[in-house]
Structure 1
Amino acid sequence: MSTGPVRLAIVGGGRGAAFLKVLAPLSDKLRLVAFCDMREELIAMWKEQKPDLLTFASYEKLLDCPDVDAVFLATPFTVHAHQAIQALRAGKHVLSEVIATTTIEESWALVEAVEQSGLTYMMAENCLFTRSNMMVAQMAHSGVFGEISFAEGGYIHDVRHLQHHSDGTLTWRGRLRRDANGMVYPTHSLGPIAHWLRINKQNGDAFESMTCFVSKEVANHHYFRELFGDKHPGASRDYWRQGDSAVALIKTRNGVLIQLRYDVKSARPIQAAHYGLQGANGAYLTGRHKDEDPIVWIKGRSPGASPQRSSEPGAEWEPLWNYAEQYEHPAWQKWHTQAGQAGHGGSDFFVLDEFGSAILESRKPLIDVYDAVTWSSVFPLSVRSVQSQGKPVDFVDFNRQAAAGRPGSDA
C-alpha cells in the first residue's frame, strides 16, 4: 500500500473548480498541489484562492513535474483519451471526467496504457455515487428486486447555451452536435445501471449488443435562428447531424434489456438523471423532478399485491428512503454530512474519495479502465448503428489480455 496523501493536479478550470471545496475532508488521501489551464484568467483565479498552488499553462510541463502524483482531467471529453495516455506514460495516476474515449481505437490504446503502466485509472462517473443509486445497488446486489429483466436510464437536460460562444461560434460541444449523431454522452445514464447489473465484474453480466435510433433535428436550428438570426449556419436544420432524442437498446449476455435516452437540446425542465429497474420481485423509479422522491415496490414488503387479487389492495409505490435503515450504502452512512457540501447531490465527494482510496490501497477503483471504455464505447457503436438504420452492433470485449485482430471503428 502507498502512503498518502496523493499529490493531485486538476487539469481544466471550469468543471475542476467545483471540486475545490470537496477536497478539504479528504486531505489524508488527496492534496491539491497544481492546476493546469491554457486560460491566464483562470490560472490567476486559482492562484488567488490557493497561493501555494503550482500553476501550468502547458499540460506537457505539468506532466514533467515530479511534485505531482496524479491528474484529474476536467477538460473537453474529446481530448480525455489522449491526455490520459500521456499522463500514464509520464507516470501519473489518472482520474478522468466522462466520457473516457470517443473511438474504439482510443479505447484499446487507453487499456494498453493502463495495463503497461500498472497505475490507477478511474473514470469520474459521478452518477454512480448518488445516494439513491448507491442504495439501489445495495438492494439489487442483495437480491431485493429478484432476477432483473429490465433497466432504463435517461440524461435529459437542455444545455443548448453551452454549444456556442457569445459571438455565435461553436464550442466543442456545439461542434460535436454538428458532426456526430448517436448516443454521444452515454455514461450518466448507463453507469449506475452497469453497476447494478455488475457489468464486467466477477459473476456479473456483460453488454452483448446494441441498436440505436435518433429523432429528427428540431430544437437546435430554431434556437440558433432566434439567437443569432437566419444568416447563422446553425439556423439551418441540415447543419446539425445530431437529432434531438437518441434512444438505444442494449441486450446483455444474461438477457437483460437496457433502454437509454439522451437529449440535451429539447426545451423542458431538467431531468438530468432518470433511472428505472425491474426485477421478478419489485421495481424502482427515480422521481420525475428534484422535489419528488424516488420510489420502489418490493413484493412482500411494500403495500399491496401485484397482480391485484380481489381480496386485497393492489400494489402501491413507496419512497425508496423507507429502506434506508437497512440498505443505505456504508459510504453514505459515514460521509453523509461531508458529501452534502459537494456538487451533484454529494456524488463528487465520493468520486474523489474512491480515487484516492484506490491509489493508497493499491486496488482497482470501482470504475476501472475496462468499465470506462465499455461504457464510453456506446458513443462510437451507437453512431455506427444509426448510420446503418438501427442495425444491431456487438460490444467489444476490452478485457481480453491477448486479443488477436482487435476490431476497429468509424467515428
Structure 2
Amino acid sequence: MTHQPLRLAIVGGNRGSRFKQTLSALAEHIQLTAICDINEEMLHQWKQDYPGIELYRDYGQLLQNSTIDAVLLASPMLLHARQSIDALRAGKHVLSEVIAAHTVEDAWELVETVEKTGMVYMMAENYCFERSSLTVKHMAEQRLFGEITYAEGGYIHDLRHSVHHKDGSPTWRGDLHHTYNGMNYPTHSIGPIAKWLGLNEEGGDRMERMSTFVSNSRSLRHYFADMFGTGHPAAQEGYWKQGDSAVTTITTRRGVLIVLRVDWTSARPHNMRHYALQGTEGAYLSGRFDGEDDLLWIKGRSPFKEAIPGQPSDGEVEEMWEPLSRYQPRYDHPVWKQWGQQAYASGHGGGDFLVLEEFAAAVRGKRKPLIDVYDAAAWSSIFPLSMESAARNGQPVVFPDFRRALR
C-alpha cells in the first residue's frame, strides 16, 4: 500500500536547516512544503535550495494553509508550547524541538489539547535516538542490568558563543540565561534515562519529586568582559540570573535515584553526552569526550582482571569494564538495525534522522510516537519545577501526573 508523503512545514529556518540532509533521505515519506521565519535572508536561502516551497513570516498565516499536514517547530524554546497548541487546534500534527513547555500550566494545556484534537504530537528529543542510547535501552528492556537503582544524565556543552549575536546582543539562549535560574535545558539529560527506566509507560514507573541546586554565575560574565569589554551590560555582576551549573536530583515512585546536570556556559572541552546507569546486575558509563569508548559491565559476562605474575595478590577478583561496542550489533535496538545505516550520516549521531522518521511513521500509522505528549510534558516540567526548587534553596517539589486523565 502506498502513502502520500507527509506535507511538512518547518518553523525556524536556522535550526531547521540541520534537517536538510535527513529530508532528502526521507523524501519518500516527507515532503517539505513551507518554511516560516522572521528573517528574510534565511527564507531566501531556503528558497534557493527548495524553489517550490512556500515562505511565511507570519505563523498564523501558515496555519491557515490546508495543504500543510504537520509542522516541525525549530523556533526559540519559549515559543514551543503556544505554537504547538495553535497548530494542533488548526488540525496540524506537531513535531516540536525541546523543551515542549516552560510552565506547568502550558504543559497541562498541551496535554489536554492533544487529547481533545487526536492529532499526533511528538517532542524531537534526538538524544534518545543515538545508537548508544538505543542499545542501552534495548539491554535494559531485556533486564541485563538487573533492577536499575541509579541513573545520571548531563548536558555539559560549551555554548557561550550561542548566547549572543555578533553585536553582543542576546540570542534566545542569552535571554534564557538572563531571565531564569534552574535546570534550564533538561530533556537531553533526562530523555534517554526515562526511556531506559520505562518512565510514563503504562503500569510503569514515573518521576515523583525533585530538588535543584545551582552554582554561582561566573562564566558568562568573564566571557563577555573578554569579548566585548568590561563595560558591556552582560559583563556586570548580577546580569546573569542563571548559575553556571545546575544539578537536579529526582526520585521515582519505585525508588530509583536520578541525578541531572546542565552546564552549557562553562569553559571546558566538549562533553555533550554524559550518562551513567547502575543496576543490580550491570552498569553503564558514557564516554567523557569524542572518541572515548562508552563502557559497560555485565555480571557473569564481562571479564575479570588477570593477576600479574610475580605481584602479590590479596585473592580478590577484580571486575573489568569493557567497551559497549563489543555488545553491538548483537544488542542494537531494532530501530537502529532498521535505519542505522541511513541515520548515521545525519546530525546528533543519527538522532535527527530517526526523530523525523518516527514522527512520519506515527502519523502514517495513526499511532502514538515513541516520545509522546506525556513524556514531553513530564520531562519539560523539570524546567519550571527546578526554578521553584532552586528559589527555595533546594526544597523538594512534586511532579504532576500528566497521565492522570487516562487512569
The TM-score bracket by the shorter chain reads over 0.9
Give 3-state SS (helix, strand or coil) of 2:212's partner.
strand
Q: Structure 2 matches for 1:65-76, cutoff 5 A?
A: 65-76=65-76
Structure-2 separation of matches of 1:335 and 1:311: 47
Give 3-state SS (helix, strand or coil) of 1:238's partner.
coil
1:312 CA drift (Å): 6.0
In structure 1, the residue matched to 2:162 is 162
Structure-1 separation of matches of 2:338 and 2:392: 49
Q: After alignment, is 49-58 or 22-31 more displaced? A: 22-31
1:193 CA drift (Å): 0.2
1:28 CA drift (Å): 2.9
In structure 2, the residue matched to 1:317 is 321
After superposition, the C-alpha distances for 1:144-174 in whole angstroms (9 at most, x for unaligned) are: 0000000000000111111111222111211
1:400 CA drift (Å): 1.8
Which amino acid is the alignment partner of residue 361 of structure 2? Answer: S
1:225 CA drift (Å): 1.0
Structure-1 separation of matches of 2:388 and 2:33: 42
Q: Structure 2 matches for 1:67-216, cutoff 5 A?
A: 67-216=67-216
Q: Per the alignment, do residues 402 and 317 of structure 1 end up closer, same or farther by CA in structure 2, a change over 3 Å counting?
A: closer
Q: Per the alignment, do residues 192 and 402 of structure 1 end up closer, same or farther by CA in structure 2, a change over 3 Å counting?
A: closer
Give 3-state SS (helix, strand or coil) of 1:391's partner.
coil
Which amino acid is the alignment partner of residue 24 of structure 2? Answer: A
Give 3-state SS (helix, strand or coil) of 1:327's partner.
coil
Q: Per the alignment, do residues 79 and 316 of structure 1 end up closer, same or farther by CA in structure 2, a change over 3 Å counting?
A: same
Q: Per the alignment, do residues 402 and 276 of structure 1 end up closer, same or farther by CA in structure 2, a change over 3 Å counting?
A: closer
Give 3-state SS (helix, strand or coil) of 1:345's partner.
helix
Q: Does the Cα contact within 8 Å between 1:208 and 1:252 map onto a contact in 2?
A: yes
Q: Does the Cα contact within 8 Å between 1:11 and 1:35 map onto a contact in 2?
A: yes
Q: Structure 2 matches for 1:327-366, cutoff 5 A?
A: 327-366=331-370
1:35 CA drift (Å): 1.1
Structure-2 separation of matches of 1:175 and 1:340: 33
Give 3-state SS (helix, strand or coil) of 1:353's partner.
helix
In structure 2, the residue matched to 1:259 is 259
Size of the aligned set, in residue pairs, is 400
In structure 1, the residue matched to 2:291 is 291
In structure 1, the residue matched to 2:247 is 247
The normalised TM-score by structure 2 is: 0.96
Give 3-state SS (helix, strand or coil) of 1:401's partner.
helix
Q: Does the Cα contact within 8 Å between 1:2 and 1:359 map onto a contact in 2?
A: no
1:53 CA drift (Å): 1.1
In structure 2, the residue matched to 1:393 is 397
1:217 CA drift (Å): 1.0
Q: Does the Cα contact within 8 Å between 1:2 and 1:361 map onto a contact in 2?
A: no
Structure-2 separation of matches of 1:166 and 1:46: 22
Structure-2 separation of matches of 1:128 and 1:382: 22
Identity, in percent, stands at: 54
Structure-2 separation of matches of 1:134 and 1:396: 27
Structure-2 separation of matches of 1:166 and 1:134: 38
Q: After alignment, is 1-10 or 22-31 more displaced? A: 1-10
1:331 CA drift (Å): 1.8
Structure-1 separation of matches of 2:137 and 2:36: 35
Q: Does the Cα contact within 8 Å between 1:187 and 1:376 map onto a contact in 2?
A: yes
Give 3-state SS (helix, strand or coil) of 1:112's partner.
helix
1:58 CA drift (Å): 1.2
Give 3-state SS (helix, strand or coil) of 1:239's partner.
coil
Q: After alignment, is 146-155 or 296-305 more displaced? A: 296-305
Q: Per the alignment, do residues 2 and 310 of structure 1 end up closer, same or farther by CA in structure 2, a change over 3 Å counting?
A: farther
Which amino acid is the alignment partner of residue 9 of structure 2? Answer: A
In structure 2, the residue matched to 1:60 is 60
Structure-1 separation of matches of 2:126 and 2:249: 23
Structure-1 separation of matches of 2:326 and 2:367: 34
Q: Does the Cα contact within 8 Å between 1:182 and 1:386 map onto a contact in 2?
A: yes
1:234 CA drift (Å): 1.0
Structure-2 separation of matches of 1:367 and 1:336: 19
1:311 CA drift (Å): 4.7
Q: Structure 2 matches for 1:223-242, cutoff 5 A?
A: 223-242=223-242
The partner residue of 1:368 within 357, 369, 372 is 372
Q: After alignment, is 294-303 or 394-403 more displaced? A: 394-403
Structure-2 separation of matches of 1:170 and 1:36: 22
Q: Does the Cα contact within 8 Å between 1:2 and 1:360 map onto a contact in 2?
A: no
After superposition, the C-alpha distances for 1:311-342 in whole angstroms (9 at most, x for unaligned) are: 56311110101111321111211222211220
Structure-1 separation of matches of 2:210 and 2:30: 38
Which amino acid is the alignment partner of residue 259 of structure 1? Answer: V
Q: Does the Cα contact within 8 Å between 2:273 and 2:288 map onto a contact in 1?
A: no
Q: Does the Cα contact within 8 Å between 1:304 and 1:312 map onto a contact in 2?
A: no
In structure 1, the residue matched to 2:25 is 25
Which amino acid is the alignment partner of residue 153 of structure 2? Answer: G
Structure-1 separation of matches of 2:195 and 2:70: 25
1:310 CA drift (Å): 5.3
Q: After alignment, is 1-10 or 75-84 more displaced? A: 1-10
Which amino acid is the alignment partner of residue 124 of structure 1? Answer: A
